[in-house]
Amino acid sequence: MSKIAVLIAVALTAATVTIVGCGGAVEQPAAGVATQPQASDAATAAPVRPSPLPATPAVTIVATATPRPTNTPSAAQAVTDLGGRLRIASVPPVQQLVGSWLGTTTAANMQVRPFSDPLIHTDRFDGSLVPGLATSWEANEDGTQWTFHLRDDIEFQHGWGKFTAHDVPHSTGLIVKEDAIASDTGIFRELFGNTYDDVINNVVVVDDNTVRYDVQVPNSIVDFFISAQQGNLFMYSKAQFEAEGLDGYEARPAGVGPWQFEERTLDVNLLYSRVPDHYRRSPFFEELEWVLIPEENTRLAQLKTGQVQIGEISRELHIDAVGSGLEVVQSQLPSLQVTFIIGGVYNPEAGSECADGGERCFYQPDEPHLDVRVREAINRAINRQEINEQLFDGIGQPHVVWGYHPALPGWNSRWLEEHEEKYGFDPERARQLLKESGHEGYKVKLLLTELPGVPEMIPMGEATYTYLTNVGIDVTSEAVEWSTYRADYYRPGRTHGTIAASRGTYRPAEITVRSYNRSGPTGFWRTSVDPRTDTLYDLATRSMDPVVKADALRELGDLKFDLYSEAPIVWLPAQLVIDPREVGEYVWPGNINASFTHTEYITPAQ
């Protein structure tokens, strides 16, 4: 073979390997150079103090938060000139949409939050619920009626008129529509009605500035569900809907947020412009653009070259980012909780039939995970400290009971005190427990799933493969899409013999308990280590007495902790990389289902 032929073969092979290595990814369109900050009227740019009207709960105390004014921005006080276009590089969401009812909370938050507001907002420093479109709210004694008093000075964008109480039932009804797939669709149907018309009946317009939610099932955290923290219920214009239908929302949705929707190009970007006189905070940049870039290195490259000012970059690349003069900033509060769900632990008293007529679903008495010693062994086998230090760079906070955080109602300080003793890394003890239980060497399928916000999920799963194997468990692993996991495993009650990593957000404990531990159709995973789970959950959810509620949650947490319900790993803050030459301050709570919130408070570098 001639030399030329050899050289051609080498080149072709190298190109082939490159193609394999690049996964055939389509190159992202080059983003333009960031617009330079432009001068603007100082009066508009000056910080605006939030509404002076504190909420005044009249009848009951809301356990999740105390309504109060939003904190005044700090660095924002010094801003005199507006920035130009703020470009944020992000992972493209699964659905690209402008309707929060059509997507998961994460997708909705990122795309909808800039141009629309919820009734109740979230403080950017401490994550508490604060007045938004509603200046105050109250509930009756049994939590079946929630009344919200609305601002009367809000106009919809694009000239769609004044925001009134009539827009509230309409916006709420969207969440329960047949095509709605928002995270909260289930709970909204349970609380407010199964159809759009039901909701229109149950969300009563008292007057133009007052709206009352008549709740079908007593619930003590209705304000949380309709707040910015949960993030599914944003206000849309009823007038626009009646004139243009959902097509109008798709093309040019009118909201009441600090940014105004301008345009989007699927898979490329979403563009918003500044609302100059917003009631909460007018942005410090003229425009906001989400630049959708799937590849990690491309996002980092755009940050390094100044094509974007903020980027969602995985922790593994932070060292490269910092080396290039960029800065890593993190949220004020924990953003995500990470755990392993121990499958097959169903409530024997709940008993559900297999949806497809099969035989092995829900409670199966021969399931090894029903033995608390096996669940303890799993917890003992996992080295949480090593995971936190090696995979999460040590930024994680201890996580002792899935769904519970020291700052949330229902916390028990005993858990943290006893954590090392009961959950500490101890492979020998794990082996002994497995032996005592008679399940030494039992078979487990470790389900590996990638989830937004935690790129370390797969490595963490593979590390756990090693941990579990080391104590003698016969582990096989399978990478599954989350949708497959949902459809094939936890929805039909077939999580037997599985361990799956999952991640949740920072929210009241009962929300997590509802999804992961409650039996019956309201639950998803239905992990129930004790039959009292459902009773305690119902008590915690329905009681308007904060003491009763906290006690019920604490007792539920005790059961989860003492009986090793899950294998919680870590609480994590959200992290972003910013270009300090362009961005001054970015303070956001992180306790919301999205990395990027409170963008209106981001200041340009001075």
Binding site for another protein (CB under 8 A): 1, 5-6, 9-10, 12-14, 16-17, 19-21, 23-24, 295-297, 314, 316-317, 319-320, 383, 386-387, 390-391, 448, 458-459, 461-463, 465-466, 469-470, 477-479
Q: How far is the CB of 602 from another protein (least distance, A)?
A: 26
| CB burial readout 43-79, b (16+ within 10 A) else e | eebebbebbeeebeeeebebbbbebeebeebebbeeb
Q: How far is the CB of 367 from another protein (least distance, A)?
A: 23
Collapsed DSSP state (helix, strand, coil) of residue 527: coil
Collapsed DSSP state (helix, strand, coil) of residue 97: coil
Beta-sheet strands, E only, within 67-190: 83-90, 120-122, 129-131, 134-139, 145-150
Q: How far is the CB of 12 from another protein (least distance, A)?
A: 8
Q: Name the residue nearer to another protein (CB basis): 13 or 74.
A: 13
Q: How far is the CB of 386 from another protein (least distance, A)?
A: 5
**Closest residue by Cα to residue 520 from 403, 364, 363, 343:** 363
Q: How far is the CB of 593 from another protein (least distance, A)?
A: 24
Residue 329 β-bridge partners: 576
Q: Name the residue nearer to another protein (CB basis): 205 or 301.
A: 301
Collapsed DSSP state (helix, strand, coil) of residue 334: strand
497 with 367: CB under 8 angstroms? yes
Structure tokens at 306: 């100044």
Q: Where are the alpha helices (DSSP H) in 36-166?
A: 42-45, 105-112
Q: How far is the CB of 175 from another protein (least distance, A)?
A: 31
Q: Name the residue nearer to another protein (CB basis): 21 or 52.
A: 21
Collapsed DSSP state (helix, strand, coil) of residue 389: helix
Q: How far is the CB of 460 from another protein (least distance, A)?
A: 9
Q: How far is the CB of 468 from another protein (least distance, A)?
A: 10
Q: How far is the CB of 423 from another protein (least distance, A)?
A: 18
Query: Cβ neighbours of residue 423 under 8 Å, at least 6 residues apart?
Result: 379, 380, 384, 400
Task: Please name the helix (run of DSSP H) or strand (run of DSSP E) that holds residue 100, with its range, or none.
Answer: none
Q: Name the residue nearer to another protein (CB basis): 153 or 478.
A: 478
Q: How far is the CB of 7 from another protein (least distance, A)?
A: 11
Query: Cβ neighbours of residue 426 under 8 Å, at least 6 residues apart?
Result: 380
Q: Rounded to a whole number, what is the distance in angstroms from the first to the last CA of the chain? A: 64
Q: Is 323 exposed, middle or buried (0-12, 13-18, 19+ CB in 10 A)?
A: exposed
DSSP 255-292: --SSEEEEEEETTTEEEEEE-TT-SS---SEEEEEEEE
Q: Is 560 exposed, middle or buried (0-12, 13-18, 19+ CB in 10 A)?
A: buried
